[in-house]
Amino acid sequence: MSKDGKHLFTSESVTEGHPDKVCDQISDAILDDLLAQDPKSRVACETLTTTGLVLIAGEISSQGYTDLQKVVRGTVKEIGYVKAAYGFDYETCSVLASIHNQSSDISMGVDELEEREQGAGDQGLMFGFACIETEELMPLPIMLAHKLSRRLSTVRREGILDFLRPDGKSQVTVEYEGHVPKRVDAVVIAAQHNPEVDMDDLRADIREAVIGNVIPPDMLDDNTSIFINRTGRFVLGGPFADTGVTGRKIIVDTYGGVGSHGGGCFSGKDPSKVDRSGSYMARYIAKNLVAAGVADRIEVQVAYAIGVADPVSIMVDSYGTARVSEDKIKDLIRGHFGLKPKQMISELDLLRPIYRKTAAFGHFGRTEEEFTWEWTDKAEAIRRDAGL
């Protein structure tokens, strides 16, 4: 950061056709299919994709049954890999699976028994973050990057830019003064396309239909750099061009590199895994605290031990923006939020087939009804108890 507080920060996003995101969506589609039949399903489902192949591996214990061929091919089709010319498509790809039951050594620490409450499904540390930079209470760079990726998907699906294919990436660099975003310094778009399109036409169309639709005009100036398909060709994409694996886009999934990350991914995991439920609850806490005016910028960490219900630690960092002490903020957290696995699952209503939708365009900063961890329903009570 310079002496006057100016600095640049960059975040990226990817479309639903990116090979890693294909894997996340398949893993979460399998999870959803099982939760719809048996809400108590235990799922840890990993996916790998490459040319002509989808490989499913993991641990599943459920009273339900999932037709993996049907779920995988349906997901790939919905993403948009529908033509053999793409090098990967839902009709011709092979689907292989190696699935076994959840380890009894793990389940005995997680199962709720008459003499023992439900414990965390693993040890680990989870972070939640919120700030006043956007109406979603998210960092601006990741929100703009997600909106660009979602817009790429929209113009492809609606035929507005009919030369686009499913794979794509976006990146946004924002210039800050302190914690205040001032301008967009750079925008990067990489969009998979048909071989016939003229590159000058592609760049002009994406600049108008995608960037012009997303980036506020007052955030752009003559010094903003815009890079669109800078290699000049992006015909080969998706699993044909790059192997994908579940859980490789954890920064895209969260806050775009702002704040900390505990390292665990979300997709393919049922909510008994605190990697998922704990991260969702931490975001819920942080967002409600910021919405309440307790701080303008806040990070919350919770940490767990396997088989233990209560978190082993709670940490709060308000970056010097808090209007009450951080000890008071911890008291507010304990008073308004349940942090045991069973409490988090119940409060956020997580035993539902809602996860496929989370697996593209970020898990946070969303307005869809399934995203209960984005609600700010506790902000008023927190504001009152904080004395603000």
One DSSP character per residue, 80-134 reads T---GGGT--TTT-EEEEEEEPPPHHHHHHHS-BTTBPPPBSS-EEEEEEEESSS
Quickly state the pLDDT bin for 169 (edges 50, 70, 90).
Answer: very high
User: Of all helices (H) and strands (E), which one includes residue 300?
Assistant: strand 297-304
Looking at per-residue pLDDT, the higher value among 115 and 247 belongs to 247
Residue 296: the pLDDT is: 97
Residue 209 has pLDDT above 60, yes or no: yes
d(CA 374, CA 75): 25
Q: Residue 215: how many CB atoms within 10 A of its CB?
A: 18
Quickly state the pLDDT bin for 114 (edges 50, 70, 90).
Answer: very low
Quickly state the pLDDT bin for 119 (edges 50, 70, 90).
Answer: confident
What's the mean pLDDT when you consider all of the chain? 94
Quickly state the pLDDT bin for 110 (edges 50, 70, 90).
Answer: low
Residue 109: the pLDDT is: 53
Tokens of residue 380, six digits:
């008023």
Q: What is the mean pLDDT of residues 187-213?
A: 96
User: Of all helices (H) and strands (E), which one includes residue 326?
Assistant: helix 326-336
Residue 364: the pLDDT is: 98
Q: What is the mean pLDDT of residues 125-148?
A: 98
Q: Residue 327: how many CB atoms within 10 A of its CB?
A: 9
d(CA 97, CA 140): 39
d(CA 276, CA 300): 15
Residue 102 has pLDDT above 80, yes or no: no
Residue 117 has pLDDT above 80, yes or no: no
Q: What is the mean pLDDT of residues 308-325?
A: 94
Q: How far apart are the first and last CA of the chain?
A: 32
Q: What pTM does this model have?
A: 0.94
Residue 105: the pLDDT is: 54
List the strands of the sheet with 42-50, edge to edge. 94-100, 53-61, 42-50, 244-245
Question: What percent of the chain is modeled with pLDDT above 70?
Answer: 95
Tokens of residue 40, six digits:
């108590």
User: Are 333 and 285 contacting, i.e. CB atoms less than 8 angstroms apart?
Assistant: yes
Quickly state the pLDDT bin for 104 (edges 50, 70, 90).
Answer: low
d(CA 171, CA 186): 8
Q: What is the mean pLDDT of residues 374-386?
A: 97
User: Are 5 and 178 contacting, i.e. CB atoms less than 8 angstroms apart?
Assistant: yes
Classified as helix, coil or strand, 45 is: strand
Question: What percent of the chain is modeled with pLDDT above 90?
Answer: 89
d(CA 159, CA 194): 13
Residue 120: the pLDDT is: 85
Looking at per-residue pLDDT, the higher value among 58 and 113 belongs to 58
